[in-house]
Each structure stands twice: as structure tokens, then as C-alpha cells.
A and B are shown apart, each in its own frame.
Chain A
Amino acid sequence: AQSVTQLDSQVPVFEEAPVELRCNYSSSVSVYLFWYVQYPNQGLQLLLKYLSGSTLVKGINGFEAEFNKSQTSFHLRKPSVHISDTAEYFCAVSYTGTASKLTFGTGTRLQVTL
């Protein structure tokens, strides 16, 4: 069965510091991976996605993620965060051949402070 694990429920960080949000998925032959962001009282917005090819993918707002097949991970990173990055971040996986089934992790709350 598809599953995604986000071990960190909350990550506090100071503004301008780097951050990494961790995501691991259950192993499969081929996967598509996504990161979404949810700002307070809003829906989810796609940050970036990995489909194939280069393992380092860049997204909006300066975020990037690296696909690591051997470790079944897809960690999200940003070299310098801003207050406006405070939000909830969700990792999601879709396995090839499963049509529109997208499985989400439980989310990581990124709290950026001065």
C-alpha cells in the first residue's frame, strides 16, 4: 500500500536560516512525488514535483527537493527561510498505474521566527 512518512510534525527555525523537511515513502518500482504548501485558512498549493530524470528538482518560492531512490526519500530544502514561509508542508506520493490516487503524509508545520 502507498504510504508517506513525515517524521517531523513541527520544525521551528529562525528567519534566514536553512531548513530541511523530511519525507520518506514506501518503496515501489516507480513513483511520482510532490510537495504541497498550505498557508493558514487556504487550500493546498503545489510547490514542486518529481516525475523522472534529475533527482534535484526546483520549485516555487526558492524551495528544492532531492529524490533519493535508495533511501526512498524526498526531502524538501530551502537555504534561507522567510517569515512568509510559515505554513504547513505536505509530501505526497503517487505510484505509476494508480491513476489519480495521491497519498499524503501527515504534514510538517514550519514555524519561522525572527
Chain B
Amino acid sequence: EAQVTQNPRYLITVTGKKLTVTCSQNMNHEYMSWYRQDPGLGLRQIYYSMNVEVTDKGDVPEGYKVSRKEKRNFPLILESPSPNQTSLYFCASSYGQLYGYTFGSGTRLTVV
């Protein structure tokens, strides 16, 4: 089944403790992206990647890192999480701009 898989689905962590949210897609998509969803703000792009080793900042990149060492994987790294990063995170992938994104099921992160 074609899909984007994120792990974990739920995560509660403490301020300052480094964490990684994994994302993997099995559709051979070149484009991948991370979004955060907050009430009243919709989805905001954190980082995106157009291919292996090619990444760029989205609208809200502060406090996040990404890497794209393999085509299928695009992990999101929070080096020192803070409470304002409590949010619902989505990974998405696409063949390109004309196709729209396929989204994962989301990761609900709580930073206390």
C-alpha cells in the first residue's frame, strides 16, 4: 500500500530533551515536507526537500532540523524542544508540484 509512515503517533517529552520523529514513504517520491498544525493557524511548512541532500526552510523552521540522506526517509529533529513546539506534526511526500502531497497520519507532540 502506498503510504507515508510517521513514528511515533504520540509523544510526550520534557523541555530540552532531543527527539526525532521519523518519516518514511514507499512511493519513490522526490519531494518531502514537514508541516505543523496548530488550532486557528492551519498547517505551516517547517522544512521541505526536493531530493536527496537537498533541503530548504519553510515558513517556521526555527528550532527544527531535517536531513535527507535517503530518498525514502525524511526525519524531523528537535535538538532542544520547548513547550511552544507542542503541536500536531505531519510529514508529506509528492512526485512534484503538480501532484499534491500525500500525508502521513500525524505525530502529536507534547513538550512539558
A89 to B70, CA, bound (A): 32
Given A43-B106, A44-B90, A101-B58: A107 and B101 within 8 A (CB)? no
Given A45-B103, A99-B31, A99-B50: A107 and B97 within 8 A (CB)? no
Cβ contacts under 8 Å, A17 to chain B: none
- Name, among B33, B97, B102, the residue most crowded by chain A CB atoms within 10 Å (CB to CB): B97
Contact A102 B103 (CB under 8 A): no
Contact B41 A106 (CB under 8 A): yes
CB-based nearest B residue for A97 = B97
Number of interface residues of B (CB under 8 A): 29
Given A49-B100, A94-B97: A102 and B45 within 8 A (CB)? yes
- Name, among B32, B40, B103, the residue most crowded by chain A CB atoms within 10 Å (CB to CB): B103
| A100 partner, pick from B31, B40, B90, B106, beta carbons under 8 A | B31
Cβ contacts under 8 Å, A27 to chain B: none
The smallest beta-carbon distance between A33 and chain B, in angstroms, is 10
A57 to B104, CA, bound (A): 25
The total number of A-B Cβ pairs within 8 Å is: 62
The smallest beta-carbon distance between A52 and chain B, in angstroms, is 9
Cβ contacts under 8 Å, B103 to chain A: 36, 43-45
Cβ contacts under 8 Å, B45 to chain A: 101-103
| B97 partner, pick from A32, A44, A46, beta carbons under 8 A | A32
A6 to B31, CA, bound (A): 26
A104 to B35, CA, bound (A): 10
Contact B98 A100 (CB under 8 A): no
Judged by a CB distance under 8 angstroms, whether A9 is at the interface is: yes
9 contacts between A and B (CB under 8 A): A43-B104, A44-B43, A44-B90, A45-B103, A46-B101, A90-B42, A99-B31, A99-B97, A100-B32
